[in-house]
């Protein structure tokens, strides 16, 4: 994955937090990234080139009238006043190439010096195994702060850890082994034979990004734990 800066621009060192979407049902993560970019008045500082993302092109993603500014599959926006970088992904990953894409993205982010990574995604309401609507917004998270995915800071915000996350489950363990370079061909064959219901969460794009980024960041000093968040309520509304 290669970063190509806009003429005269660069990634700001002051933007230590990076937010990126994982392609998911309802495009919730991507819509959230669009909202952040437009509401913060972020500036486009460049784009990312990766062989595993389908090519696409559009005209002026944020202006009220088209100005002929090209919108590309992977773009980076900085908001120095908020200390944020937002990566927007406008097209999906080539089928079967998500793990390679996640590795490339994790390598790029780790090399960029970002300290706090937030992945935005969504879940299919029809796939939920445990539904609790008593607390209003259905915002779930995973964090690298602890091996079980829990994070006290996220809990204080009223978010709930994704209960279905089990790092010892075969597919999650496979992702971790793959990120660490310890997966074997036998592991790959075994995973491909699993039933979809057994590995639904671990088979989603956010899971690959989370696993590869976690491997990059848990061993690095002076970094803040990365988090993954899902807003199930938004997903449900979009599904309707």
Mean pLDDT of 11-18: 93
Alpha helices per DSSP H over the chain: 28-40, 98-112, 152-156, 170-180, 185-192, 205-217, 232-239
Tell me the per-residue pLDDT of 60-115, one tens digit each, with 9 for 90 and over.
888 777 777 889 999 999 999 999 999 999 999 999 999 999 999 999 999 999 98
pLDDT of residue 131: 61
Q: Is the pLDDT of residue 57 over 60?
A: yes
pLDDT of res. 236: 27
Mean pLDDT of the chain: 83
So what's the pLDDT on residue 230?
Answer: 55
pLDDT at site 186:
62
Where residue 122 falls among pLDDT bands split at 50, 70, 90? confident
Q: Which domains does the chain have, with CATH numbers?
A: 2-239 (3.40.50.10900)
Per-residue model confidence as pLDDT tens digits over 142-188 = 998 888 989 888 888 888 888 888 888 888 999 999 999 887 766 66
CA angle 179–183–188, rounded 5-degree value? 110
Alpha-carbon gap, residue 116 to 16, rounded angstroms: 6
Read off the tokens for 75.
């773009």
pTM of the model: 0.85
Q: What pLDDT sits at residue 112?
A: 92
Neighbours of 4 (CB within 10 A): 10
Torsion sign across C-alpha atoms 3, 43, 64, 34: positive
Confidence of residue 232 (pLDDT cuts 50, 70, 90): very low
User: For residue 220, what pLDDT band results from cuts at 50, 70 and 90?
Assistant: low
């Amino acid at each position: 994955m290669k970063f190509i800066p806009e003429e005269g621009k660069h990634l700001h060192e002051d933007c230590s937090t990076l937010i990126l979407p994982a392609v998911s049902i309802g495009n919730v993560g991507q819509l959230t990234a669009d909202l952040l970019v437009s509401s913060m008045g972020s500036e486009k500082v460049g784009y990312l080139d990766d062989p595993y993302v389908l090519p696409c092109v559009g005209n002026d993603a944020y202006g009220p009238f088209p100005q002929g500014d090209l919108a590309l599959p992977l773009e980076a926006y900085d908001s120095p006043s908020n200390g944020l970088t937002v990566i927007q992904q406008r097209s999906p990953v080539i089928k079967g190439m998500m793990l390679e894409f996640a590795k490339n993205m994790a390598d790029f982010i780790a090399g960029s010096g970002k300290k706090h990574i937030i992945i935005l995604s969504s879940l299919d309401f029809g796939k939920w195994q445990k539904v609790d609507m008593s607390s209003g917004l259905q915002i779930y998270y995973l964090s690298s702060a602890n091996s079980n995915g829990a994070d006290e800071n996220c809990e204080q915000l009223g978010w709930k850890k994704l209960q279905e996350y089990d790092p010892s489950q075969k597919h999650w363990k496979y992702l971790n082994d793959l990120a660490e370079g310890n997966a074997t061909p036998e592991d790959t064959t075994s995973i491909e034979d699993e039933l979809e219901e057994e590995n639904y969460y671990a088979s989603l794009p956010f899971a690959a990004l989370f696993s590869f980024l976690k491997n990059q960041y848990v061993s690095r000093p002076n970094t803040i734990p990365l988090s993954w968040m899902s807003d199930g309520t938004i997903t449900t509304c979009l599904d309707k």
